[in-house]
Amino acid sequence: MDFKCALCSDKLEILVQDGAITRKEYYGMLSDIHQCTNCGHIQFYPLPKPEVLDNYYSSNLFYSANSFQLEDYYTFWLEGKNASQVIFIESLILLKAEYFARTEKPVLYDYACGTGGLVAKTSQLGFNSRGSEMDKVCVEFCQSKGLSVSQGGIELLAKENNLDIVTCYHSLEHFLNPQAFIDAVNLALNDNGFLVLAVPNGSYYPAQVDFFGKFDWSFFPEHLHYFTPNSIDNFLFKNNFEVISMTSNSVADTQLDWLHKCAIINNFNPSIPQVHALYHFIDQNLLARDLRVIARKTKNPKPLNFGRKHKSRLEEVSPGNINGIIFSVKEIDNSKATPKLVINVQANKKLDKDYKVLLHLRRKEDKNTVSDDCINLDFYPEKPTSTWGSKSFWRTKESFDLYVPLLLDNPFTCYQIEIGLIDTELSIDNKYILYHDTICMIGTLCI
């Protein structure tokens, strides 16, 4: 008897057998890790029955809301205590700036929202956010915070019909039937609406090396599915979604796992250049612990061609000078699924205060006409090996690069690149103002 892939219905082959991961004495069943011979999706099979999962989640100390520290998990989102959550929020900010610049409050629905931290955080950031959750105690907690959260599952999501964005943060891997979820999302989203996902990465390199035996995210029956870049892209494509961004960042736990393995296997302590090379390798090849996916609902989707070279180009590049600080466009980094605009900053001296960078991407109507339609991003400088901005970066570096993710996909469109500085110590009505009211044009980006 052939086992069928939950995503594409093709044949599954055993990857890890004999129930080594599932602990028969606890779960009452043996289940092996299989991989699809077609799309590469990784999953447990056989899958547990719904009543087994219901009993597990209601009795498990970690997942039971009765014993869960609801307030702590809620504030993780609001205070940015979790790196993966911060990256997820950043992707939503960029999505809003790119595609909803003229929408006052994009309607966002967080499915399986838990304690509602994502609903609360995105509401603060200008989204019209609501969500749903199966657990009654979590729903009551959300409602006590004044959040628009209802108790229920896929049936609630399927009743929606005007959503701009559906988010699902590290929940899809828990579902018995991912297809039922994506069917509900299709009903709920507007035409050209977006699905934003975070899932464990089935291509996570250390887990592949260890055959999923030693990593805490490959456990059963919580995580039933492990989506590889190819399998999630194929799954979304066949359901009329086009992936516009797929990223996999080297957050701390991934780095430590892999560096520890390197040290054991090779009996050495990696040097700083080797560590940086490792980070780049993991990110470039989508091998880190998590996958973050942004996909747009469309009638004519195109599959993501991994390893493709983006055709974006730079024109009219010239350095800009703001109060002695030189900004220069270096390149477009196309090494990852989401390209990045790389801008060099040359301060010539360590500065005595902190700044934020203001970036305008202003659409050009033609060679001589620039539209008021403008994408605005402001951020602290980003370390090349981290997604975290550093407020003290200006005081420790005289020259560094800014890495700006680009979610632009409008073909044959050019954007004028404008840069400015925001002095974080100067404000009017608690709003930062531009340093010396200066913005300079440093180049043109053509898609």
Domain termination site, one of 258, 273, 297:
297
Let me know whether 207 and 182 are in one domain: yes
Let me know whether 291 and 381 are in one domain: no
Mean pLDDT of 17-35: 59
Let me know whether 113 and 227 are in one domain: yes
Domain termination site, one of 236, 268, 297:
297
Poorest-pLDDT segment among 213-222, 325-334, 404-413: 404-413
Look at residue 305 in the predicted model and tell me its pLDDT.
57
Tokens of 79: 């205070």
Q: What is the CATH number of the domain that holds 173?
A: 3.40.50.150
Total number of domains in the chain: 2
pLDDT digits (tens, 9 = 90+) for 335-379: 554 467 788 888 766 666 666 677 777 777 666 776 655 555 544
Let me know whether 323 and 174 are in one domain: no
CA distance 403 to 247: 14
Let me know whether 203 and 142 are in one domain: yes
CA distance 295 to 338: 12
Let me know whether 243 and 339 are in one domain: no
Q: Is the pLDDT of residue 278 over 70?
A: no
Rg (CA), the chain: 23
**CA nearest to 393, candidates 407, 382, 404, 379:** 382
Look at residue 139 in the predicted model and tell me its pLDDT.
93
Q: Is the pLDDT of residue 30 over 90?
A: no
Q: Is the pLDDT of residue 61 over 60?
A: no
**Length in residues, the chain:** 447
- Bridge partners, residue 344, by sequence: 328, 401
pLDDT digits (tens, 9 = 90+) for 106-120: 999 999 999 999 999
Secondary structure class of 197 (helix, strand, coil): strand
Residue with tokens 């103002």: 433
Domain termination site, one of 240, 264, 297:
297
Q: What is the CATH number of the domain that holds 320?
A: 2.60.40
C-alpha to C-alpha distances, 240 to 42, 104, 160, 298, nearest whole angstrom: 22, 27, 18, 6
Q: What is the DSSP track for 36-57?
A: ETTT--EEEESPPPHHHHHHHH
CB-CB neighbours of 337 under 10 Å? 25
In 3-state terms the chain splits into helix, strand, coil percentages (rounded to 5) of 30, 35, 40
Tokens of 303: 């599959």
Domain that holds residue 419: 313-446
Q: Is the pLDDT of residue 387 over 50?
A: no
Secondary structure class of 199 (helix, strand, coil): strand
CA distance 279 to 205: 12
Residue 40 lies in a domain: no
Residue 230 lies in a domain: yes
Let me know whether 335 and 290 are in one domain: no
Let me know whether 85 and 226 are in one domain: yes
Contact partners, residue 342, CB within 8 Å, separation at least 6 = 329, 330, 331, 332, 333, 401, 402, 403, 404
Residue 16 lies in a domain: no
Let me know whether 293 and 370 are in one domain: no
Residue 255 lies in a domain: no
Let me know whether 230 and 326 are in one domain: no
Average pLDDT, the chain: 76
Q: What is the reported pTM? A: 0.66
**CA nearest to 355, candidates 419, 260, 410, 301:** 419
Q: Is the pLDDT of residue 38 over 50?
A: yes
Look at residue 150 in the predicted model and tell me its pLDDT.
97
Residue 207 lies in a domain: yes
Residue 171 lies in a domain: yes
pLDDT digits (tens, 9 = 90+) for 404-447: 666 444 445 677 888 877 665 554 444 444 444 467 788 887 76
Let me know whether 239 and 102 are in one domain: yes
Q: Is the pLDDT of residue 10 over 60?
A: yes
Residue 192 lies in a domain: yes
Burial 202-234 (b: 16+ CB within 10 A, else e): bbbbbbeeeebeeeebbebbebbbbbbbbbbbb
Residue 418 lies in a domain: yes
Mean pLDDT of 218-240: 87
Look at residue 124 in the predicted model and tell me its pLDDT.
96
**CA nearest to 352, candidates 432, 403, 425:** 425
Poorest-pLDDT segment among 71-80, 188-197, 402-411: 402-411
Q: How confident is the model at residue 205 (pLDDT cuts 50, 70, 90)?
A: low
Let me know whether 325 and 410 are in one domain: yes
Look at residue 268 in the predicted model and tell me its pLDDT.
44
Look at residue 207 in the predicted model and tell me its pLDDT.
60
370-379 sheet: strands from edge to edge: 313-315, 431-446, 414-428, 355-364, 370-379
